[in-house]
Amino acid sequence: MDMINCTINGTPVSVPAGTTILEAARTIGIEIPTLCYMKGRNEIGACRICVVEVTGARTLVAACVMPVSEGMEIKTRSDRVLKARKRTLELIMSNHNCECLACDRSENCELQTLARNFGVDFDTYKGEKTEVELDESSPALVRDDSKCILCRRCVAACRSQTGVIGANNRGFDTTIGCAFEMKLADVACVNCGQCIEACPVGALVEKDQIAEIFEAINDPSKVVVVQTAPAVRAAIAEGFGKPIGTMGKGKMVAALRRLGFDKVFDTNFSADLTILEEGTELITRVKNGGKLPLITSCSPGWIKYCETYFPDFLDNLSTCKSPQQMFGATLKSWWAKKNNIDPKNIVSVSIMPCTAKKFEVGREEMSVDGFADVDYALTTRELVKMIKRAGLQWDNLPDEEFDSPLGEGTGAAVIFGTTGGVMEAALRTAVDVLSGQDNAEVDYKEVRGMDGIKEASYTVGSLTLNVAVASGLENAKKVLEAVRNGEKNYHFIEIMCCPGGCINGGGQPIQPNWVRDTVDVRGLRAGVLYQEDLDLPERKSHKNSAVMDIVYKEFFGEPNSHTAHKYLHTHYVDRSSTVK
């Protein structure tokens, strides 16, 4: 490998050819500030915050795109550089909504941090501001272009998903939005929220429903029940300044009780339920010549994408509802009956790592007997805000356990929160069922990891199962096109909308971009879930006694029964006509 020698602020540096100045600086502990840069996704040198001085160059250069060359002398903190960055920040501020105290991203805003670090005066350049409209049309997202800094990071994030947003107009009138100034609700947005995670400021946020939840909690006529998805526990502590990869389950449960929820349950319960239903569906299709490959239906962003762009695969989708919806349906049927509670008085709340769950709860297909399975879906970030608003001190909260029996879950359910987890959980049960024995091997590591596409084959008796796992819609598209073209032959496919799965969902705590570039955020969060899987006494969904010995025996009967289909299964619709 060819190595390039240069100096940065007088310090000798040797890096591989092709390394940018930004990357070279990081090797010696210098973080050059950026706003538009996202490694491998948005390397456009547009914001000019990362400019540095190179000896012999007439102008300052963008460190994020300029490769080092032999003998290059680089200055990252010269007078000229610091003044240029401050001036650029002041110009950005001149067309920015600077009502920071009321902004959702205050204290976690990359622009605010840079402005503070550079001592920026917000009023240096006064004048006209671009006229924009607030877009609140989406059931999940809110876009406020008065805070947009035109960094195009959201555009890059969306490009790898659906590509429904981009730059409109030119010059001072440039805005980021949908084509022809359409609203988010009127285009094929799948509500994944990856644009929120990418945005350095508060131009994109989830649709906040905290006030409605507090109102319900304070209504004595309502029984307010909450469930939390497995990926939430792997990231919520970050919202209180804890290191990435910190388990937050026990304190989260304690916080939810102190917020006033009547019952605190675990979506792991219905993840196990999902495996029983989906695993049975897979085995039935394989044995009886049903439609294959079977494709998972847990991710609502992926489901809407399939409905919109690949409606010819609708019959391949599992008819199972997602664990969120299965939980809500079980809550308002079996649990309500067992506790003699009228379902109309139950407020079913979920805490999810996902903004698309807000869209899912409003789907007509997600209700039974006139009752929506889930009434409200809140993100991990919203729960963090609720805890802070209520004055709860995270560090002083004890570790508590979920309520029973809908708080019971296995290790298979925990790993639902990361890419490959649903597949591995399904394999643990399917292999036992097909082989007729309790197999000691439960780790299917071939489907683990953050690769966008993973493939594996497993032989059980005379049957060989070909499986694939895809995360991120760009990778989902590749897999589906390969199946459509006859290039691949799978029995079972897991697809997650967000790259890395739910641990990287659009509703998780937002880490600054430089952290995402330099730290394996997804891997650290996934590690939390795999560790809990190892620590639990039961690691197979069909070993969940609360599911098997209570709920199935008392209500559903058996997986894929008539009653199970009524409450736990659904159908999907062709949305291809919405593509504009």
Residues with catalytic roles: 278, 281, 298, 318, 357, 360, 365, 502
Burial of 362 (0-12, 13-18, 19+ CB in 10 A): middle
Burial of 284 (0-12, 13-18, 19+ CB in 10 A): middle
C-alpha gyration radius of the chain:
25
State how far the Cα of 559 lies from the Cα of 276, in Å rounded to an integer. Answer: 6
Contact 360, 387 (CB under 8 A): no
Q: Which of 59, 57, 54 is nearest to 22 (CA)?
A: 54
Decide the pairing of beta strands 73-75 and 134-135: unpaired
Contact 300, 325 (CB under 8 A): no
Cβ atoms within 10 Å, residue 116: 10
**SS3 labels along 500-531:** CCHHHCCCCCCCCHHHHHHCCHHHHHHHHHHH
Q: How far apart are the first and last CA of the chain?
A: 47
Tracing tokens 């947009």 back to the chain, one arrives at 148
E-strand stretches of 432-488: 453-460, 463-471
E-strand stretches of 329-462: 346-352, 367-368, 371-372, 376-379, 453-460
Buried b (16+ CB within 10 A) or exposed e, 181-208: eeebbebbbbbbbbbbbbbbbbbbbbbe
Decide the pairing of beta strands 346-352 and 376-379: parallel
Q: Which of 17, 4, 547, 516 is nearest to 323 (CA)?
A: 547
Amino acid at 486: G
